[in-house]
């Protein structure tokens, strides 16, 4: 069983470890690296290397596991989006690379579905791109995309986030954009697992695809994976560290982080994902079972639905709903009381429709019992008073 007093480093800093029932969210620490990734980082830390050579070799591993022509380790999917935009606008022209985010003389528009707007798309703008929105939350027509593409269009973006609906299928965007000579850039930060997604969007024709390295892949939290067309990866690399003139220079990736990400990625590809998914599901079942019989509280298991292409449904979750007759604390109060407890438990809302989600992907063995016990305590104390 874990200790939550905080040992060693965290204790010295006075930082309290928390139980993460929230998912691979950045503010809760992303993921816990497996031992082989930590070992690779330690090994990488002992020698100097030529960073260009290290980037190239790491890129070859990414290309192999994604089926893309080329790859690059980034400082997260957010940095990947910045480099996607920079690559599509400036290419490998050193004058243009230097000029970003000033995009004079460049194609600088990125077409994006209104249903795909997420806070992270500010990374496209950070490179100097202007976003051109199409569609609405209910539907998007192919002609809207075609009409939005002009001689100024640098790329068409496709974001797999929490699914809002109403976007064209990726295949349609690829077809329409490619007919007009426009590359398609995909943000699939939180879409791993399922592992099939490593190759899926490239197979669908996307020109650049970006994933987080510190979410489901369980690499260093500040890493990401960019893969795609050889010329565009070359352009992304030119806009990135170690090139000190690139707009991506502040998103530097260390040799240790490159090593940790590549080791984690190789492990991820070799993982028995069915067994992992089954253990996640059984933690959720435990929680649902433990909350049975509380009046006006409905706990249910949400099965994994990877086909939905929603960043929340790649794995099972336990959802807790407080029904209309409920008189106890609100969902927000339950969430904040869990955070204030000992050990603190971090989790979040299930979605816009309400409910609390217990996400099992970062629960260590046995933590489901702590989470279920605390939830039961909070939900029974108040409702009986
Ligand atoms: C997490 C996330 C990002 C950012 O990824 P980082 O690897 O943390 O930089 C971008 N887009 C979406 C949809 C995400 O969920």
Taking the domain 9-28+272-383, which CATH number applies?
Answer: 3.90.1150.180
Mutational test site, ligand 1, from 26, 167, 224, 257, max ligand atoms within 8 Å of CB: 26
Centroid of ligand 1 to alpha carbon of 77 (angstroms): 5
What's the pLDDT at 309? 85
Residue 248, φ and ψ in degrees, nearest 5? -85, 5
Ligand 1 pocket by Cβ (under 6 Å): 26, 76-78, 118, 120, 159, 161, 187, 189-190, 212, 214, 224, 311
75 CB-near residues (< 8 Å, 6+ apart): 222, 223, 224, 251, 252, 253, 257
Q: Identify whether the C-beta of residue 215 lies closer than 8 Å to the C-beta of residue 24.
A: yes
Domain extents for the chain? 9-28+272-383, 35-270
Centroid of ligand 1 to alpha carbon of 221 (angstroms): 11
Is pLDDT of 122 > 50? yes
Whole-number percent of the chain with pLDDT over 90: 91
CATH architecture of 35-270: 3-Layer(aba) Sandwich (3.40)
Average pLDDT over residues 188-207: 97
* CA of 162, closest atom in ligand 1: 13
pTM score: 0.96
* CA of 212, closest atom in ligand 1: 7
Centroid of ligand 1 to alpha carbon of 50 (angstroms): 29
The pLDDT tens digits for 266-310 are 999 999 999 999 999 999 999 999 999 999 999 999 999 988 888
Nearest residue (CA) to ligand 1, atom 1: 189
Q: Identify whether the C-beta of residue 207 lies closer than 8 Å to the C-beta of residue 229.
A: yes
The pLDDT tens digits for 135-173 are 987 899 999 999 999 999 999 999 999 888 899 999 999
* CA of 215, closest atom in ligand 1: 7
Give the C-alpha distances (Å, rounded to integers) separating 8 from 12, 14, 16, 18, 220. 6, 10, 11, 15, 20
Whole-number percent of the chain with pLDDT over 70: 97
Coil/strand/helix, residue 67: coil
Average pLDDT over residues 202-226: 98
Q: What whole-number distance in Å separates Cα of residue 96 and Cα of residue 105?
A: 8
Centroid of ligand 1 to alpha carbon of 80 (angstroms): 9
pLDDT band (50, 70, 90) for residue 1: low
The pLDDT tens digits for 45-72 are 999 999 999 999 999 999 999 999 999 9
* CA of 80, closest atom in ligand 1: 9
Q: What whole-number distance in Å separates Cα of residue 117 and Cα of residue 109?
A: 15
What's the pLDDT at 2? 64
Nearest residue (CA) to ligand 1, atom 13: 161
What's the pLDDT at 6? 61
* CA of 118, closest atom in ligand 1: 13
69 CB-near residues (< 8 Å, 6+ apart): 63, 228, 229, 230, 233
Coil/strand/helix, residue 353: coil
CB atoms within 10 A of CB 131: 16
DSSP state of 364: P
Is pLDDT of 228 > 60? yes
């Amino acid at each position: 069983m874990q200790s939550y007093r905080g040992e060693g480093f965290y204790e010295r800093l006075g930082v309290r470890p928390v139980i993460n029932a929230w998912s691979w969210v950045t503010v809760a620490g992303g993921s816990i690296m497996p031992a082989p990734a930590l070992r690779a980082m330690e090994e990488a830390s002992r020698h100097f290397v030529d960073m260009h050579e290290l980037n190239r070799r790491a890129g070859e591993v990414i290309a192999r596991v994604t089926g893309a022509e080329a790859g690059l380790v980034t400082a997260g999917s957010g940095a990947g989006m910045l480099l996607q935009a920079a690559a599509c606008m400036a290419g490998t022209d050193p004058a243009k690379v230097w000029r970003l985010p000033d995009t004079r003389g460049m194609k600088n528009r990125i077409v994006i579905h209104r249903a795909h707007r997420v806070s992270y798309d500010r990374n496209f703008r950070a490179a100097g791109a202007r976003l051109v929105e199409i569609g609405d939350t209910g539907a998007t027509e192919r002609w809207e995309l075609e009409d939005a593409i002009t001689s100024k269009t640098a790329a068409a973006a496709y974001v797999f986030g929490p699914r809002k609906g109403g976007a064209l299928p990726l295949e349609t965007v690829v077809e329409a954009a490619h007919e007009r000579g426009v590359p398609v850039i995909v943000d699939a930060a939180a879409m791993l697992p399922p592992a099939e997604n490593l190759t899926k969007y490239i197979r669908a024709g996307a020109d650049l695809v970006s994933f987080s390295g510190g979410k489901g892949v369980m690499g260093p939290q500040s890493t990401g994976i960019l893969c795609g067309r050889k010329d565009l990866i070359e352009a992304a690399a030119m806009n990135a560290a170690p090139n000190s003139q690139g707009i991506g220079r502040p998103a530097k990736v260390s040799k240790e982080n490159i090593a940790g990400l590549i080791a984690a990625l190789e492990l991820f590809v070799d993982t028995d994902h069915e067994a992992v998914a089954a253990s996640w599901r059984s933690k959720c079942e435990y929680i649902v079972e433990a909350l049975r019989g509380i009046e006006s509280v409905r706990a249910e298991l949400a099965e994994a639905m990877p086909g939905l292409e929603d960043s929340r449904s790649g794995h099972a979750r336990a959802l807790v709903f407080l029904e209309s007759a409920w008189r106890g604390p609100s969902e927000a109060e339950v969430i904040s009381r869990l955070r204030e407890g000992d050990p603190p438990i971090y989790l979040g809302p299930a979605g816009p429709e309400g409910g609390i989600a217990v996400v099992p992907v970062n629960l260590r063995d046995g933590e489901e019992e702590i989470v279920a016990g605390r939830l039961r305590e909070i939900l029974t104390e108040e409702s009986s008073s």
